[in-house]
Amino acid sequence: MSTPMGAAKARIDESHSATSVTARRFRPPRVDFANFKPRHFVWQLEGKVATVTLNRPERKNPLTLESYGELRDTFRDLVYADAVKSVVITGAGGNFCSGGDVHEIIGPLVEMQRKGDMAGLLAFTRMTGDLVKAMRACPQPIVAAVDGVCAGAGAILAMAFDLRLATARSKVAFLFVRVGLARADMRCLQHANRGSSGLDARPSCSIPGAAWTATRPSGGASTTGCASRTRCWVRRNLSHDRLQTARHSRMP
């Protein structure tokens, strides 16, 4: 026998279902993230929390031209992934990211400059900026699990995330000026007023070639299982004000 309360609940459920169907028509998923297998990093989806692992531990997980592009496209497609509620990014082998690969990025860029290939240099610059833009437009809160080396472009990526949980052994360095690039590259200074747990990038991000370690070791994540501990923290706090506030306080 149907009760008034039961009938009202059925109407609400029917309305939500219709809204969901309509939303999917306007925002069709472009990637099946449950079975996503990227070529240049590791993707893992556990429940509603996705983990991106930069996976070149033998070289401290540097970025390449290809990984830049694949990360950019992944974050663009996450706009349509309603089943993914948060993203954790980490590095394999006890380090986060050593920045752009010397042989696979710096070398080709130097060669482009030697040949006067301004179109190629501009395309690379736009791609790195587009990765940061895609992360800032991503509807899911993004949390970095930082351990070990976090340098150059890797440090900029960490700054562009919503939250950064770092171990006491994390070491951050902005090395752009050492290879002749502006210290504001990849919107570095725009993110300079955003701190983190266990790691505070604000005081030193504008010092040319600066490197520093976690400023609050007791508050940082444990060195053991940094990524797994961060995932657990994110799962516990998916609906918590801190995650949502971090997401909604992003700068454009």
- Whether 157 is in a domain gets the answer yes
CB atoms within 10 A of CB 192: 16
Angle at 194 between CA 191 and CA 196, to 5 degrees: 130
Does any domain span residue 19?
A: no
Reported as a single tens digit per residue, the pLDDT across 119-140 is 998 998 899 889 988 998 999 9
Give the confidence band of 197 by pLDDT, cuts at 50, 70, 90. very low
Question: HSE-up of 213 (CA within 13 Å, CB side)?
Answer: 9
- Residue 8's H or E segment, with its range, is helix 4-26
C-alpha pair distances (Å), 132 with each of 125, 148, 185, 220: 11, 22, 11, 25
Token pair in block for residue 47: 């429940």
Residues in the chain: 252
Closest CA to 147 of 74, 17, 70, 54: 54
Please give the structure tokens belonging to residue 124: 């690379």
Instruction: In whole angstroms, give the CA distance from residue 49 to residue 54.
Output: 16
Q: What integer is the mean pLDDT of 162-175?
A: 86
Q: Is the residue at 23 inside a domain?
A: no
Domain span holding position 107: 28-248
CATH of the domain at 220: 3.90.226.10
Residue 5 lies in a domain: no
18 in any annotated domain:
no
Q: Is residue 53 in a domain?
A: yes
- Note the pTM of the prediction, 2 decimals: 0.74
Q: 91 pLDDT exceeds 70?
A: yes
Which segments of the chain are extended strands (E)? 42-46, 49-54, 86-91, 142-146, 149-151, 163-166, 171-173, 211-213
Q: Between 212 and 243, whose confidence is greater?
A: 243
Asked if pLDDT for residue 95 goes beyond 80, the answer is yes
pLDDT tens figures, 6-40: 554 454 455 445 445 665 666 666 789 999 999 99
pLDDT of 232 > 60? The answer is: yes
**Is 154 within the bounds of a domain?**
yes
Q: Which residues of 12-34 are buried (b: 16+ CB within 10 A; e: fewer)?
A: eeeeeeeeeeeeeeeeeeebebe
Count of structural domains within the chain: 1
More confident residue, 154 or 195: 154
Q: Give domain status of residue 17, yes or no.
A: no
Per-residue burial over 99-129, b = 16 or more CB atoms within 10 Å of its CB, e = otherwise: bbbeeebbebbeebeeeeeeeeeeebeeebe
